[in-house]
Amino acid sequence: MPTQLANAVLVHSPFLGPASLRPLADALAHRGLASLLVDLRVTVSDPPVHQRLIGSFADAMDEAGAAGPAVLVGHSGAGPLLPAFAEELDEAVVGLVYLDAGLPTPGRSFRDLAPELFAHLRGRSREGRLPRWQQWFDVDPLAELIADAELRAEIAEESPEVALAFLKEQRPSVDWSGPSGYLQLSTSYTKYRDEMAASGRPVRRLDAHHLAAATDPELVAEALVEVLTEVTAG
């Protein structure tokens, strides 16, 4: 059993809430792996969002009083923030794992990287805030991906209205030279997995979907433990 692995700190997407990763945290616990699930929702409604997210993450870790080395596991939109989160914790972080997530692009913004999507979201924004994640699309993806009505409602309710300014802000200019790995859940993130694989980092791919950490937590936990083992092997 992976009881000797570093603690896994699960970081939800800024566009979702902790419910999107809570089943995964439970599945890891069943495998004997300590994990910590942070809640960053209260920090995303007003700019500067990146700065507020980083401060909230540091506060959450202080309050948790987690001891020992940690691997940060960032889902989706949390991926680009992982190096900045790691910097806040200094030597306590021994690795990063990107869970169906974007990769860091220091100094660049979401708007720089996806101008068409930014324009689409700006058109749906109201009073300087983005619609909830599930309202970005013409068809609600939660209805398709989350069969459990209670879980679907919880994830929908937690999804925050993020400040539109977040997409314009430059991402933190923080480099990470330590170990890292990638776990792909959906085809939309193939390019990021391929980029990590090309750099020689451990990767895994599941034939699942973007919210599989919530709907198929045991499957995701098994693959995540494999990646965590490789990331921390050195």
pLDDT values of the chain reduced to their tens digit, one per residue, 234 residues? 343 567 899 999 999 999 999 999 999 999 999 899 999 998 899 999 999 999 999 999 988 876 678 999 999 999 999 999 999 987 789 999 999 999 999 999 999 999 999 999 999 999 999 999 999 999 999 999 999 999 999 999 999 999 999 999 999 999 899 999 999 999 999 999 999 999 999 999 999 999 999 999 999 999 999 999 999 996
pLDDT of residue 3: 39
Residues 153, 159: Cα–Cα separation, whole Å: 10
Residues 13, 77: Cα–Cα separation, whole Å: 5
Residue 17: which of 36, 35, 44 has the closest Cα?
44
The overall pTM is greater than 0.85 = yes
What tokens appear for 154 in the block? 């919880």
pLDDT of residue 5: 65
pLDDT of residue 90: 73
Instruction: Return the CATH class of domain 7-231.
Output: alpha beta
pLDDT of residue 91: 74
Q: Output b/e per residue, 178-198; b: 16+ Cβ within 10 A.
A: ebbbbbbbbeebeebbeebbe
pLDDT of residue 157: 97
- The domain locations on the chain are 7-231
CA 197, 145, 165: angle at the middle one, nearest 5?
Answer: 70
> Rounded to 5 degrees, what are φ and ψ at 183?
-125, 110
